[in-house]
Structure 1
Amino acid sequence: MPLNHEHQMTVLKDILSNHQTDCCGTVSECEQIERLAKSLMGNGQIDQQVKQVLPSIYDYGQAGKYSADLDSHISAHQQQLSDWVDQLT
């Protein structure tokens, strides 16, 4: 059963929050961030303010997926992660 947009937002926020607090993550989490952000960008029920940050979140997931040092990638984005988590609340 597919997740509705509210559940997708919760999962996305949880993954970003974990990256922010743990300063580490996995390639599969980055792939999940990409899928969730892409799905939410195409959803008409998403708040316009949230839609504005989704492309940046998508890019973060994509860059993380291909990063040679994922933990450094996550550490370099601590401020953005904090801002995104706040904006998705």
Structure 2
Amino acid sequence: MPLNQQDQLQLLKDILSNHQVDCCGSIAELEQLERLVKSLMTASNVDNEVLEQIYHYSQNGINASNLDNHIESHQQQLSQWVNEVETFS
């Protein structure tokens, strides 16, 4: 069963929040973020600039030599993105 836009936004926010709080994550989570962002970019009421930033964060994290360091270095952006995703609907 496909996720609707609200479910996708909630999942996006949950993954970003987990990265912010835990300062760690997995490649699978970053790949999920990429898929969610690609899907949400087609929605007219979602800020594509924020989604592009999250997409680049995901891609760079997948290719990072140390994923935890990558996540830790983006703590401020993660907090900002979580707040911004909350405003999408």
Taking structure 1 as the reference length, the TM-score comes to 0.92
Distance 1:86 1:19 in 2: 14
Distance 2:64 2:49 in 1: 24
Count of residue correspondences: 86
- Residue matched to 2:71: 74
Residue 54 of structure 1 deviates from its aligned partner by 0.3
Query: How big is the alpha-carbon RMSD for the aligned residues of Structure 1 and Structure 2?
Result: 0.9
Structure 1 residues 46-74: Cα deviation after superposition (integer angstroms, max 9, x where no partner): 33xx3220000011011111111000000
- Residue matched to 2:14: 14
Describe how 1:56-67 pairs up with structure 2 within 5 A: 56-67=53-64
Distance 2:2 2:43 in 1: 14
What runs of 5+ residues in structure 2 fail to find an aligned partner? none
Distance 2:71 2:3 in 1: 26
Distance 2:22 2:3 in 1: 25
Taking structure 2 as the reference length, the TM-score comes to 0.92
Structure with greater helix share of residues? 1
| SS of equivalent residue, structure 2 residue 65 | coil
What runs of 5+ residues in structure 1 fail to find an aligned partner? none
Identity of aligned residues (%): 55
Matched, 1:85 2:57: no
